[in-house]
Structure 1
Amino acid sequence: MSTPFYVSPQQAMADRAEYARKGIARGRSVVVLQYNDGVIFVAENPSRALHKVSEIYDRIAFAAVGKYNEFETLRIGGVRYADLRGYTYDREDVTARGLANVYAQTLGTIFSSAGEKPYEVELIVAEVGAGPEDDQIYRLPHDGSIVDEHGSVAVGGNADQISSYLGQRHRDGMTLAEALKLAVESLTRDANGSERTLTAEQLEVAVLDRTRPQQRKFKRLLGSQLTRLMEEGAETSASSADEGGDAGAS
């Protein structure tokens, strides 16, 4: 009689975590930043049909990296949860924190189950508040843990390097154009330190804009509007550099 193959629970969980991390690392990154009027989502995604960033509810949006079919299933579940809770109770009862808890339970259950593989996804759930101090951003790794983020966050293949770049340069009170420029700059950094060029056609960009008069604050930035914002950010940066040079010369 053969001896059953034994793997310690610690090793099994470590192997599952490594499997999920490798799958997530193959995906292009997503960056989320706070700016003065809300929260901006920027993803490297040339597809116009398969979205990495989506609206969940009035003031809540969702971003994800990893396997599309897996995070799309989670997105649909989140929309159903929000719609049911808003209809049963009140629209104000639908919060990013509540949605993050639901996602954490789902991801944690799948990750710890021996009967199925872990989801190869990493999620961001964000809610725009009445002011910048009320904004909420939560990052959910593959194992279902919840990380409360502030200012900026990145997920995906090159997340550590991008997060470090954002942490050094992000500041409170940035305009939309400035935040977009910083997000695009961070996404162009390769792991080996070289820089790439990303055009508007290669990006998926959306905002939760607290200044919008309607109840739904989510808006996609497309076409000429996105191109104009990218040019505005570049012009602002060039003007700041010129002013810095003049000040140094004096």
Structure 2
Amino acid sequence: MSTPFYVSPQQAMADRAEYARKGIARGRSVVVLQYADGIMFVAENPSRSLHKVSEIYDRIAFAAVGKYNEFENLRIGGVRYADLRGYTYHREDVTARGLANVYAQTLGTIFSSAGEKPYEVELIVAEVGAERAEDQIYRLPHDGSIVDEHGSVAVGGNSDQIGSYLDQRQRDDMTLGEALRLAVEALGRDTGNGERTLTADQLEVAVLDRTRGQQRKFKRLLGTHLARLLEQPPATSAPAAKTPASDDASDASDDASGSSGPGAEA
């Protein structure tokens, strides 16, 4: 009878982690960032039916990268958890932190189990609050750990480079259009072949909008609305003030010297 090969527990866990990370890195990236009125989700996803970003509950949304069938099962489980908890207790008892803990337990159990492969997914769970200070963003890697994020976060693909780009440019007071264009610029850098320009047809965009009058704060940005937000607004410059001339001689000297007229830009 042959003796089975021995692999130390540390090496086995390292191999499982490397396997999961490689699978996640093959997927297209997702960016989540805060702006003045809420939290924005932007994913490079040309599919109109296989969503990477979805609503979980009133103020809670979910984003994921990796294997679609795996994170879709997790999404469905999260919706069931939220509905049951909201029905049993109160809608306000459904929180992003509670949902993140449920996902962490599931991912951690699967990752440490020797009987099945680890999930090749990385999740983001976000909740928008009445004020910006109450917003919550949690990132859950493949091993079930929970990372509390602030400002912006990127997962999948070349997430380190995208995240660094966002950290340097993200601001708390950004408008919806500014946040969207920044996220698209960051996603366009997820390549080793230079910067790309992504169009509305290649994007999946949604927001948790705290200013929305409905109880449900999740909203997708689609079609012409999305295309209009992606357009860079024209730069505006105030016309130079005209200095009244004292006499005809000063007007002639101004014309001869080639000075700017009243319609020139500052």
TM-score (norm 2): 0.88
How many angstroms apart in 1 are the aligned matches of 2:186 and 2:193?
11
More helix by share: 1
Structure 2 gaps of 5+ residues are 239-265
2:92 corresponds in structure 1 to: 92
1:239 corresponds in structure 2 to: 235
Instruction: Work out the percentage of aligned pairs sharing the same amino acid.
Output: 85
Asked if 1:48 corresponds to 2:44, the answer is no
Contact 2:46/2:201 (8 A) holds in 1: yes
How many angstroms apart in 2 are the aligned matches of 1:122 and 1:86?
25
How many angstroms apart in 2 are the aligned matches of 1:89 and 1:25?
39
User: How far is 1:193 from its partner?
Assistant: 6.0
Give the 5 Å matches for 1:50-199: 50-192=50-192, 194-199=194-199
Q: Which has the larger radius of gyration?
A: 2
User: How far is 1:31 from its partner?
Assistant: 0.1
Asked if 1:224 corresponds to 2:224, the answer is yes
State the secondary structure of the residue aligned to 2:126.
strand
Moved over 6 A (4+): none
How many angstroms apart in 2 are the aligned matches of 1:190 and 1:17?
22
Deviation by residue 1:26-47 (Cα, 9 ceiling, x = unmatched): 0000000100000000000000
How many angstroms apart in 2 are the aligned matches of 1:117 and 1:129?
36
User: How far is 1:157 from its partner?
Assistant: 0.9
State the secondary structure of the residue aligned to 2:235.
helix
User: How far is 1:197 from its partner?
Assistant: 1.2
How many angstroms apart in 1 are the aligned matches of 2:191 and 2:138?
25
1:200 corresponds in structure 2 to: 200
Which amino acid counterpart does residue 136 of structure 1 have in structure 2? Q
How many angstroms apart in 1 are the aligned matches of 2:172 and 2:57?
25
Contact 1:161/1:191 (8 A) holds in 2: no
Which amino acid counterpart does residue 87 of structure 1 have in structure 2? Y
Deviation by residue 1:145-186 (Cα, 9 ceiling, x = unmatched): 000000000000110000000000001111000000000000
Structure 1 gaps of 5+ residues are 244-249
